[in-house]
Amino acid sequence: MPSIDGSMLTVSEIRISSSNPKKSLVASCEVFASVGKVFVVLEMELAMYKYVVRSFVIFLVSLVGFVPLSQAQDQTLKIGEVRSLTGPANFYGIPQSRGMQLAISEINAAGGVKAGGKTYRLELVSQDDQASPTVGVAGLRKLMADDVRFVVGPVVSGVAAAIKPIIESSPNLTQLIDGATVAGVTNGKNIFRHQADIFAFEAPMIALMKQRKYPTIALMTDRFHAGMMGTEQSFVDSLEKNGNKVVAREYHKINDTTFSAQLTKIISLAPAVLIMRGYATETALMVRQSRQLGYTGIIAWEGVAPPSAVTKNIGAAEMEGVFNSFPPTIQDHAQLGSEKAKRVAEGYRKMFNAEPGELTAISFDAVYILKAAIEKAGSIENAKVNEALATLRVTDVRELISNYDPREGGRFFDTAGQAAMRGGAHTWRGSGWTPIPGI
């Protein structure tokens, strides 16, 4: 027995009745001191009962793990994406999806989205459209079956056109387009786009051709690119209005690998500039084949083309001097000194061990635009969020990476649901695209 200052302490009796623990818990302690014997009986019925119950609860919690009360009260809000995660446009889709993941991670770490006295933790639900309108429609229906109410994407214009009628007729859906450029896919009611439309891609190229005063131009357009085909005639009209005569209009399609027939026709006309309108894989192959066939003129592209995707099909040296027109990327913003862009780009590298893509910033922005609209609405009801998007101001979204010109009254979107993002002209220097100042 332990001895403390000559005293001796023993537990002489603990009796707990299984039939009625509250009434029969008794503990007896005997304390012996050098000067005499004192017998103390402590009745601890109610106190001991509470102690046992509390200990049992703590034991149960230890089995399942501790969950903070604030987190237990959070609800999950699903954000869906229709995205080209595989197939010929996955070099767009994967960096876009990762941009959304990064934004969602930031928002959840900062406490989530707050609306109507509730806190929501965001969860990304992805559907791969494989750059196919049919697959994209099926993916959207899967999101709807999973009770996803907010959808971001797609990047492929044909997919955007295919899913528009479904979303437009669904009161419990809100779409924010962060990639497709085709005209006519927004409505300002429940379909909005903060990506530049096709006209914003074309404007810098038109301005560049006018500035350089190239006399003749030939076009090579992706026949299945809904955005570029839809504006081909207006693009030609704008060029010719500025004195750039269009002498040829040829076509190709996604996944083509040989273009000799079309290029031979174009080269025979000796245009000063050959503008290739389409996706990076095909346009890279066209550059190589046009040079192999003897074309020595200026080559220009129209469309987002990540250097990593370009150099899979052509050497960087072969691309030297090629023009392109597309909105500024996260790398462009970082080079121009944006601390926000630098921080997000570094966070992307740490999370994914890869470089951000050309559309990463726009997809990152999408999540914060939805967050701002939901919090402005004070609700996750689609009708209220749609109203909030229609009246959202550019200044309401402080976390944006990309630059957007305010619409009338400072609003983010015009009445048709289109944001104003400016494109820019670029030229290939060394291993990638470099912005051309003033255009």
Q: Which amino acid is at 183?
A: A
- Encoded tokens for 76: 């999950």
Domain that holds residue 8: 3-66
25 domain residue, yes or no: yes
The reply to whether 273 and 366 lie within a common domain is: no
Q: Which amino acid is at 21?
A: P
Q: What percent of the chain has pLDDT over 90?
A: 76
How far does CA 432 lie from the centroid of its chain?
23
Q: Which of 226, 222, 227, 238 is nearest to 196 (CA)?
A: 227
Lowest mean pLDDT among 41-55, 230-244, 325-339: 41-55
304 domain residue, yes or no: yes
The reply to whether 203 and 256 lie within a common domain is: yes
pLDDT band of residue 335 (cuts 50, 70, 90) is confident
Rounded (10°) angle between helices 90-109 and 339-352: 100
40 domain residue, yes or no: yes
Q: What percent of the chain has pLDDT over 70?
A: 83
The reply to whether 263 and 228 lie within a common domain is: yes
The reply to whether 106 and 171 lie within a common domain is: yes
pLDDT band of residue 17 (cuts 50, 70, 90) is very low
Q: Tens of pLDDT along 241-261?
A: 999 999 999 999 999 999 999
The reply to whether 9 and 61 lie within a common domain is: yes
344 domain residue, yes or no: no
| Domain termination site, one of 66, 96, 120 | 66
343 domain residue, yes or no: no
The reply to whether 209 and 259 lie within a common domain is: yes
Best-predicted range by mean pLDDT (1-5, 88-92, 174-178): 174-178
The reply to whether 288 and 274 lie within a common domain is: yes
pLDDT band of residue 422 (cuts 50, 70, 90) is confident
| Domain termination site, one of 11, 40, 66 | 66
For the four alpha carbons of 386, 390, 395 and 400, in that order, the dihedral sign comes to: positive
The reply to whether 139 and 180 lie within a common domain is: yes
Q: With 60 as the cut, is the pLDDT of residue 36 above it? A: no
435 domain residue, yes or no: no
Give the position of tokens 């027939």: 261
Cα–Cα distance measured from residue 210 to residue 217, given in angstroms and rounded to the nearest whole number: 11
291 domain residue, yes or no: yes
Q: With 70 as the cut, is the pLDDT of residue 79 above it? A: yes
How far does CA 198 lie from the centroid of its chain?
20
* Between 244 and 11, the higher pLDDT residue: 244
pLDDT band of residue 35 (cuts 50, 70, 90) is very low
Mean pLDDT throughout 206-218? 97
Q: With 70 as the cut, is the pLDDT of residue 415 above it? A: yes
The reply to whether 192 and 302 lie within a common domain is: no
The reply to whether 107 and 224 lie within a common domain is: no
Mean pLDDT throughout 205-233? 96
The pLDDT of residue 438: 84
The pLDDT of residue 423: 87
Backbone angles phi, psi at 90, to 5 degrees: -70, -20
Lowest mean pLDDT among 48-62, 74-88, 309-323, 345-359: 48-62
* Between 403 and 45, the higher pLDDT residue: 403
pLDDT band of residue 73 (cuts 50, 70, 90) is low
Backbone angles phi, psi at 305, to 5 degrees: -145, 90
Beta-sheet pairing, 323-326 with 424-429 = antiparallel
Contacts of 411 (CB under 8 A, 6+ apart): 390, 391, 392, 393, 394
Q: With 70 as the cut, is the pLDDT of residue 330 above it? A: yes
Q: Tens of pLDDT along 384-396?
A: 999 999 999 999 9
Task: Residue 361: give its domain's CATH number.
Answer: 3.40.50.2300
The pLDDT of residue 437: 86
> How does the average pLDDT of the chain come out, rounded?
87
The pLDDT of residue 369: 98
Vertex 363, ends 360 and 369: CA angle to 5°? 140
The reply to whether 224 and 134 lie within a common domain is: no
Q: With 70 as the cut, is the pLDDT of residue 348 above it? A: yes
Q: Which amino acid is at 15?
A: R
The reply to whether 205 and 310 lie within a common domain is: yes
Lowest mean pLDDT among 28-37, 203-212, 228-237, 362-371: 28-37
The pLDDT of residue 308: 87
| Domain termination site, one of 66, 84, 109 | 66
Contact yes or no for 225/278 (Cβ under 8 A): yes
Q: With 60 as the cut, is the pLDDT of residue 62 above it? A: no
Contact yes or no for 280/303 (Cβ under 8 A): yes
Q: With 60 as the cut, is the pLDDT of residue 22 above it? A: no
Rounded (10°) angle between helices 360-377 and 382-391: 110
339 domain residue, yes or no: no
Give me the number of domains the chain comprises.
3
The pLDDT of residue 6: 37
Q: Tens of pLDDT along 226-235?
A: 899 999 999 9
204-227 burial code (b ≥16 CB/10 A, e <16): bbbbbbbeeebebbbbbbbebbbb
* DSSP H helical ranges for 67-150: 69-73, 90-109, 133-145
Q: With 60 as the cut, is the pLDDT of residue 42 above it? A: no
- Encoded tokens for 199: 């006209």
Q: Which amino acid is at 333?
A: H
